[in-house]
Amino acid sequence: MGVAVILTCHNEAEYIEQAVRSVAAQTLIDQIDSVIVVNDGSSDNSAEILDGLVAEIPQLVVITESGIGLPAARNRAIQASAGEFIAFLDGDDYWVPEKLEKQMPAFKDRRVGLVYCDYVDFTRADASDAQDIYVRPYDVDMERTLETYFVHDAPIVPSSCIIRRETFEDVGLFDPEMRLGEDTEMFLRVAEKWRFQYVPGAMIFKRRHGRNLTRRLDALLPVSEVVTDRFVRRNPQLEAFACKRRARRLARAGNDCARQGEFRIGVGYILRAIGNDPVFWRSYAYLMLALAPQRITSSLRDAIRFVFYKVHSRRSL
């Protein structure tokens, strides 16, 4: 049951050592066959840091590329690896020591192609502002995984995922032409033929900073529409769920814009969400927040987030 751990790095010298060391600190280190880092066109001192780690960590291999992009970099590492299972970690995130130990038993069920978990969201270097994010649970025995994930997709975070190599052999690698949304597109292909298994617990620390590709949710809307159209063509039964999917993407983008002070833009997205799915209750909650006086909006958002994640944390126990 060997595991190949794949990391990507692009100008992440500030974070990459912590990421690699979190892999080396795994309690299941004896099952890690290789740790492959693709240093993809970094112009900072990432290469020097990685060279130092290679001398210290026997499983570590560094592949240097000239800027081929995230999905192609992941594909390059997958093709260079030999593990029966592939675990992903972005260069600015890191794992808790028990991550692999807690997730790997889920693969005893041969139907499982992808295992994932909750995560910790943070921005400060010392993670003092960390907040557990509880994600939607998918179970190996769940029917209609494809339809459910098509509607709701995120937030299955790549750094939380382990994927069976056989799954890639079955559905193909990441689409190298997609510079955003490539993970959702891949996970939908996995859902066409395999089952997901959620393992409760926040086992990765996902860092938010100004260089995150997904820092603005409205920037992902065109990509989401491409993915929607692609999978409706592949699976005509998904046409019945396309408006629900669009509503959730638009509502989240609108809420994100409003949270950043772009109220008119945010309200516009939310109204489009209501037009796509008038019974999606969260759109109305986001609309209320966007229209509320600014002096109470922040505290109201915090209260709603607190209640929401408390409820989800109980479900995850």
Tell me: the pLDDT tens digits for 56-102? 999 999 999 999 999 999 999 999 999 999 999 999 999 999 999 99
Q: What is the mean pLDDT of the chain?
A: 91
Cα gap 96→160, rounded to integer Å: 11
- Find the mean pLDDT for residues 243-269: 94
Residue for token pair 């066109």: 41
Helix or strand holding residue 244 (H, E)? helix 242-259
Question: Does 19 have pLDDT greater than 70?
Answer: yes
pLDDT tier at 302 (50, 70, 90 boundaries)?
Answer: low
At 200 the three-state DSSP class reads: strand
Q: What percent of the chain has pLDDT over 70?
A: 90
Q: Assess contact for 81 and 36: CB atoms under 8 A.
A: yes
Domain boundaries, the chain: 3-207, 224-316
Cα gap 48→274, rounded to integer Å: 51
Helix or strand holding residue 117 (H, E)? strand 112-122
Q: Assess contact for 85 and 3: CB atoms under 8 A.
A: yes
Residue for token pair 């209609």: 144
pLDDT the model gives residue 259: 86
DSSP code for 67: S
Cα gap 295→221, rounded to integer Å: 29
Six-digit token string for 310: 């408390």
Which CATH number, 3.40.50.720, 2.60.40.10, 3.30.1360.30, 3.90.550.10, labels domain 3-207? 3.90.550.10
